[in-house]
């Protein structure tokens, strides 16, 4: 008796529930369509398939086939249009559901399958851009934290806790820089040069002084930045070259790109070119100041890095670092003194190591 009462109670409760609460309707599955559109399309597809299997269709049946085909093509267009509208509203999940349901109804539709494939490619590109933007934001946040860590080290001194914190921070910086390099490589492949440039600039800053003694890594980033900047600057260079009166804009643009990329050798060449062609250019002095600031920072970092290596007994490596910096600043007296001193030490060490053989 109790079972009958429970069954009756269940029937009463079900009758009171909203019709949409038990299972998803086609309206939910295909947003923007009438509630019966999907089911009608499915029935029309089955009916069309049945008529097409008939051996000899009558005139009325042929007319019915054409009507069904037109109706299903309209269904395809409506589905693609709805998905496009949702995509423009950044409802990518909704757009995917629309195309998924429509393709389930008409699995052999070339238009729907093509639209779905193209949508998938656009969504993948969008996801890659969003993930790269997130990586750039993480990198910029780490750069903001760098100054705070420097103040922390000044406050606490070189104790073990500070050393561990800084080591962990530098590990995060390097990991994010490597991730940005990977993102930038894919961005260059899809010709998204502006985003690639943003990512590479942040990566270069995250590596910091590590690039001074990693020539391959530095060259790789500089080449990628130069490639991106070259493509970004192509339209402007074409416009500038068409007017002889505005030739000075070419070295200004290329100079700024070289400075942004950290390519100081190219920057010096463009700076000399600008000074010769347009010595009164209002941008000359600010660009000279920017170049000198970068040059001083690069050389000072190289001198410090070389001094550290020299103190560790890695004299040959120190000389390599100083010689690389000398290419940028050939008249720097401190570099010249350090190189001469280190070369003298290396000569003495070589003579000492060779003396036993000479005695024998």
- As a three-state string, the secondary structure of 218-274 is HHHHHHHHHHHHHHHHHHHHHHHHCCHHHCCHHHHHHHHHHHHHCCHHHHHHHHHHH
pLDDT, one tens digit per residue, over 23-61 is: 344 434 456 666 688 888 889 898 888 888 877 778 888
| Residue count (the chain) | 360
Q: What integer pLDDT is reported at residue 22 of this predicted model?
A: 37
Q: What integer pLDDT is reported at residue 113 of this predicted model?
A: 92
179, 180, 177, 157: which is closest to 169 by C-alpha?
A: 177
pLDDT along the chain (360 residues), means of 10: 56 46 42 74 88 81 88 89 85 88 90 91 88 89 79 70 76 87 87 86 77 66 81 53 47 76 79 77 76 84 88 87 85 88 85 60
Q: What integer pLDDT is reported at residue 3 of this predicted model?
A: 59
Cβ neighbors of 335 (< 8 A, separation 6 or more) are 299, 302, 303, 322, 325, 326, 329
Within the chain, residue ranges assigned H as helices are 2-16, 26-29, 37-52, 59-88, 92-105, 110-156, 160-189, 193-207, 215-241, 249-261, 264-277, 284-311, 315-328, 333-359
Q: What integer pLDDT is reported at residue 91 of this predicted model?
A: 86
Q: What integer pLDDT is reported at residue 356 of this predicted model?
A: 55
pLDDT, one tens digit per residue, over 164-216 is: 777 888 888 888 888 988 888 888 888 888 888 888 888 888 877 565 556 67
């Amino acid at each position: 008796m109790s079972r009958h009462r429970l069954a009756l109670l269940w029937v009463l409760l079900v009758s009171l529930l909203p019709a949409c609460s038990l299972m998803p309707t086609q309206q939910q599955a295909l947003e923007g369509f009438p509630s019966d559109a999907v089911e009608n399309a499915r029935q029309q597809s089955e009916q069309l398939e049945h008529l097409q299997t008939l051996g000899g269709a009558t005139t009325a049946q042929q007319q019915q086939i054409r009507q069904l085909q037109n109706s299903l093509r309209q269904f395809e267009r409506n589905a693609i249009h709805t998905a496009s509208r949702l995509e423009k509203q950044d409802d990518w999940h909704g757009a995917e559901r629309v195309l998924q349901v429509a393709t389930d109804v008409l699995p052999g539709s070339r238009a729907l399958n093509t639209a779905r494939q193209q949508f998938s490619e656009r969504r993948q590109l969008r996801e890659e851009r969003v993930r790269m933007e997130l990586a750039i934001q993480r990198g910029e946040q780490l750069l903001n934290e760098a100054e705070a860590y420097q103040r922390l080290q000044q406050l606490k001194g070189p104790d073990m806790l500070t050393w561990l914190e800084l080591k962990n921070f530098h590990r995060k910086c390097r990991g994010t820089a490597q991730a940005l390099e990977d993102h930038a490589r894919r961005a260059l492949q899809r010709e998204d040069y502006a985003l690639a440039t943003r990512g590479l600039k942040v990566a270069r800053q995250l590596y910091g002084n590590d690039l001074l003694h990693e020539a391959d890594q530095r060259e790789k980033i500089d080449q990628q930045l130069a490639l991106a900047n070259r493509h970004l600057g192509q339209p402007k260079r074409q416009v500038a070259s068409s007017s002889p009166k505005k030739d000075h804009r070419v070295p200004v643009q290329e100079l700024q790109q070289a400075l942004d990329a950290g390519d100081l050798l190219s920057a010096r060449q463009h700076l000399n070119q600008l000074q010769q062609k347009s010595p009164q250019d209002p941008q000359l002095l600010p660009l000279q100041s920017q170049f000198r600031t970068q040059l001083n920072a690069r050389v000072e970092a190289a001198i410090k890095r070389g001094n550290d290596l020299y103190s560790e007994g890695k004299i040959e490596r120190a000389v390599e670092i100083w010689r690389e910096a000398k290419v940028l600043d050939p008249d720097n007296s401190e570099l010249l003194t350090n190189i001469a001193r280190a070369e003298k030490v290396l000569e003495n060490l070589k003579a000492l190591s060779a003396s036993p053989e000479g005695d024998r």
